[in-house]
A and B are shown apart, each in its own frame.
Chain A
Amino acid sequence: MSGKEKNVGLFVTCLVDLFRPSVAFAAVKLMSEAGCSICVPERQTCCGQPAFNSGDMDDSRAMAKMVIEEFEHFDYVVAPSGSCAAMIVKHYAELFEDDPDWQKRAIDLSHKTYELLTFLSDILGVKKVDAVLNSKVTYHDSCSGLRELGIKSQPRNLLHAVEGVEIVEGEKAERCCGFGGTFCLKYSDISTRITDDKCDDIVKTGADLVLGGDLGCLMNIAGRMTRRGETVEVRHIAEVLAGMTDDLAPISQGGK
């Protein structure tokens, strides 16, 4: 790593690690090209958000401590997920309200943690990407990223830089997809109904491809889309920005 490079710790996120490693490689590629040196600590699993939202504070704290310990020495910490980044940025400090030392460390970490697209766009100032995709694309704004981190223009600006992409907005682009972490398991019928609304909205745009920045939502949307027999493809936006679409099948679809 040269002196000028930014030392970035990649928080892979559990879903990307397990289901879609290409997203992390896309993130590595995009950040490296913009002058970052990427490190992936092995001692990382989950940000703790599922436990946190289930009210299980002890376990959330344990997971948060691990993340803090592993990542606090980087210049920046980047996650290819709005919801995991939001967990670190917005909620870690809340977990340590009775523990000032840990709380300080949590706050310090929150100041240098970013969601991938925000990092690329706002911190690295990426304006150009080396990617071509002749496709009509719509974007799903995942809830945490949108509402907790204000991610809205960044993915769209980056997509504009991809040659051949036409962006069409869904009327309900900002509406929840029904995933909600454990919600989709506990209340699967309600979740499905909400996901159907989302799918309808996407189909209505006439887009060939729906993109998003959170694998949880994308797996939910994709799983429902293929079950419904829709042909709309679903991908993480990083795959498109990194020009990986030729070698990687869309989520929940076979063939490549």
Chain B
Amino acid sequence: MELNAHNFKENAAKALEDKDLQESLAKLGTGFPLKRLAAAARLPEFEALRDQARDIKDHSLRHLDFYLEKFESRVVESGGCVHWARDINDGREIVYDICKSVGAKTVTKGKSMIGEEMAINEYLEEKGLIPIETDLGEYIIQLRHEPPSHIIAPAIHLRKSHVEEAFRETHTDLPVDRNLDAPEDLLKEARAMLRKRFIDADVGITGANFMVAETGSTVIVTNEGNGDLTQTLPRVHIVLCSIEKVVPTLEDCTTLLRVLARSATGQEQSVYTTFSTGGRHEDDPDGPDQFHVVILDNGRSRMLGHETHDMLRCIRCSACINHCPVYQSVGGHAYGSIYPGPMGSVLTPALYGLDQSCDLPNASTMCGKCEEVCPVRIPLPKMLRSWRQKQWEDGPVPLMQRFGMSAWAFWAVRPKGYHFFAKIKMRIMGLLGRKNGHFKSLPLTKAWTKSRDFPAPEGKTFQQLWSEKGGRRS
């Protein structure tokens, strides 16, 4: 997809004014987090499982080449095909070539963030194919020509009325006077519309949460069952995934699955967890004839062994997003990337370049909630800080900011001068602010005083008072 991250500030300002969005976000803030909390509380082993989940991913990344090769040979042994894509252009072409080779017209798609990364729908459309998103949320935003605003709940920014509008506009062969008031009505209509598509499709594309090296299986988790219809009914199943998703064994995958749904939606387990291994066997009554796995790199191999290495552990549960006060305030579109929230603010600069996403690593209060809830214990604040460090060292920090920080640092290591000026300034501010206890405005503090009063100092600094009292100095 096209990155729109340099407009973070404007996007965020708009988002803060958007009433519908704010209502949706308010609901999100209490929804997933509370459910996660309950699910975690219910499983005494949850914290220990998180440790193991982290270790499994670490181990897999340390031996990534080995496990990818194993995975590949297993897929081939089970009759499937593995395709390697350096970047999104590679990936798109591979997918299109497969579609072309079977004369495909309609392509159904299960939810896939790699698909979003490749903007595969746009590409296939350009080539004259009809790609149809089948996850309800993805379907809705596809109709609205919008990017997802959340990695597991892509239409979370929308209200019911938006969905109704999109359906009325698109499903024009249905009676105009039909009732679409209740969410149930909308679901029923989507289900019926997509049912036809599932059955007509020539190719089904899904994502993968994991690849299992032991068996050559790809794994998806869904609640709707759309991913399964997408891969079961067409003749060809294409799986889009990326290099860091491989894990050694079914057991390892199981441990990760135990923390995934709980961290994401607070479910004990998603409704459908599906392991796909190769194409249809000779005596299978159904299933696709062909099974293709497209493995995308797109900058990930560069992250290995570097500052953002740990980010490759991410299992895309969205817990960090759901708990982030910034995301909860501005929603996903503000980030201008398909990966929003803390995980996105680390990942986007790695995939698209830091110069393309300057604001993202800075748009965090560093409150640490993301790290607290991350099932694979990614130190997200630390990763954000490492991007900030890069910005500091490489230049794209606004001059004023740099100047401000340097001035602060200059005086901070010169305590005598610092205390001298502090004494004078606080004395004046203390006197001026005594009556109200705060200032409504002050020179150079507009960013603060726009919405907050500036608390007045007591007057004398502690250092000054301590000296006056003759307090112990050594």
Q: Separation in Å of the B283 CB from the closest CB of chain A? A: 55
Measured CB to CB, the closest approach of chain B to A226, in angstroms, equals 5
Q: Contact check: which of B16, B406, B437, B466 meets A226 at CB < 8 Å? A: B437
Shortest beta-carbon distance from A252 to chain B in Å: 4
- When the two chains form their complex, are residues B453 and A226 in contact, meaning their CB atoms are under 8 A apart? yes
A55 touching B451, Cβ below 8 Å: no
State in angstroms the CA–CA spacing of A115 and B438 once bound together.
27
- Whether the Cβ atoms of B447 and A147 lie closer than 8 Å is no
- Produce 1/0 per residue, A51-62, CB < 8 A to B: 111111101001
A18 at the interface (CB under 8 A from B): yes
Is A41 within 8 A of B473, CB to CB? yes
Q: Is A209 an interface residue (CB 8 A)?
A: no
User: Chain B's nearest CB lies how many Å from the CB of A40?
Assistant: 5
Per the bound structure, the CA–CA distance linking A182 and B402 in Å amounts to 12
A46's partner among B328, B408, B448 (CB-CB below 8 A) is B408
B389→A55 contact, CB < 8 A: yes
- Digitize B384-415: 1 where CB-to-A-CB distance is under 8 Å, 0 elsewhere: 01111111110001000100011011011101
Q: Answer whether residue A4 sits at the interface, using C-beta atoms and an 8 A cutoff.
A: no
A141, B433: Cα distance in complex, Å: 28
Smallest CB gap from B437: residue in A: A254
Give, as a whole number of angstroms, the nearest-CB distance from A43 to chain B.
Answer: 5
Q: Once the chains are docked, how many angstroms separate the CA of A28 from the CA of B457? A: 19
Query: Cβ of B460 and Cβ of A21 under 8 Å apart?
Result: yes
Residue contact A54 to B16, C-beta cutoff 8 Å: no
A21 is contacted by which of B326, B413, B462 (Cβ under 8 Å)? B462
B interface majority secondary structure: helix
CA distance A21 to B418 in the complex (A): 16
B451 pairs with A227, CB closer than 8 A? yes
Chain A residue total in the interface (Cβ 8 A): 77
Contact in complex: B388, A54 (CB < 8 Å): yes
Question: In whole angstroms, how far apart are the Cα atoms of A70 and B438 in the complex?
Answer: 33
Which residues from chain A contact B434 at a C-beta distance below 8 Å?
A: 254
B267 contacts chain A at the CB level, 8 A cutoff: no
**A187: B residues at CB distance < 8 A:** 9, 12, 326, 362-363
B408 to A191, Cβ gap below 8 A?
Answer: no
Q: What is the bound-complex CA distance between A176 and B325, given in angstroms? A: 7
Chain B residue contacts of A54, Cβ below 8 A: 388, 392, 397, 401, 405
Given known pairs A18-B422, A39-B473, A189-B13, the reply for A55 and B392 (CB within 8 Å) is: yes
Query: A178 and B325 in contact (CB under 8 A), knowing A147-B369, A189-B16, A249-B437?
Result: yes
Measured CB to CB, the closest approach of chain B to A210, in angstroms, equals 14
**Cβ of B329 < 8 Å from any Cβ of A?**
yes
Residues of B within 8 A of A46 (CB): 408, 412
Q: How far is the CA of A189 from the CA of B433 in the complex (A)?
A: 25
Q: Nearest Cβ distance between residue A14 and chain B, in whole angstroms? A: 8
Contact B438 A189 (CB under 8 A): no
A223 to B458, CA, bound (A): 15
Whose C-beta in chain A lies nearest to the C-beta of B459? A21
Q: Across the interface, do B462 and A39 meet the contact criterion of CB distance under 8 Å?
A: no
A144 at the interface (CB under 8 A from B): yes
Q: Is the CB of B405 within 8 A of A59?
A: yes
* A44-B453 in contact (CB<8A): no
Comparing A103-111, A119-127, A151-159, A193-201, the segment that makes contact with chain B is A193-201
Contact at A181–B366, with CB atoms within 8 Å?
yes
In the assembled complex, the Cα of A66 lies from the Cα of B457 at a distance in Å of 26
Residues of chain B within 8 A of A219, CB atoms compared: 455
Chain B, 315-339, contact with A by CB distance < 8 Å: what is the 0/1 string? 0000000000110111000000000
A254 to chain B, nearest CB (A): 4
Task: Let me know if B471 is at the binding interface, CB within 8 A.
Answer: yes
Q: How far is the CA of A117 from the CA of B186 in the complex (A)?
A: 54
Query: Which of A41, A56, A227, A253 meets B409, CB within 8 Å?
Result: A56
Complex contacts, A241 vs chain B, CB 8 Å: none
A51, B452: Cβ atoms closer than 8 Å: no
**A157-196: contact bitstring with B at CB < 8 Å (1 yes, 0 no)?**
0000000000000000011101111111111111111110
Residue ranges of B at the interface with A (Cβ–Cβ < 8 Å): 9, 12-13, 16, 325-326, 328-330, 362-369, 371-372, 385-393, 397, 401, 405-406, 408-409, 411-413, 415, 418-419, 422, 426, 433-438, 440, 447-448, 450-458, 460-463, 465-467, 471-474
Given contacts A54-B388, A63-B412, 8 further A-B contacts (CB under 8 A): A18-B457, A20-B458, A41-B473, A44-B415, A55-B387, A62-B413, A178-B325, A187-B12
Q: List 28 A-B contacts (CB under 8 A).
A: A19-B426, A20-B458, A25-B462, A38-B472, A44-B415, A54-B397, A55-B393, A55-B397, A56-B409, A57-B392, A62-B409, A143-B367, A147-B368, A175-B367, A176-B325, A183-B362, A183-B364, A187-B9, A188-B448, A190-B329, A191-B365, A197-B329, A250-B437, A252-B437, A254-B433, A254-B434, A254-B435, A254-B437
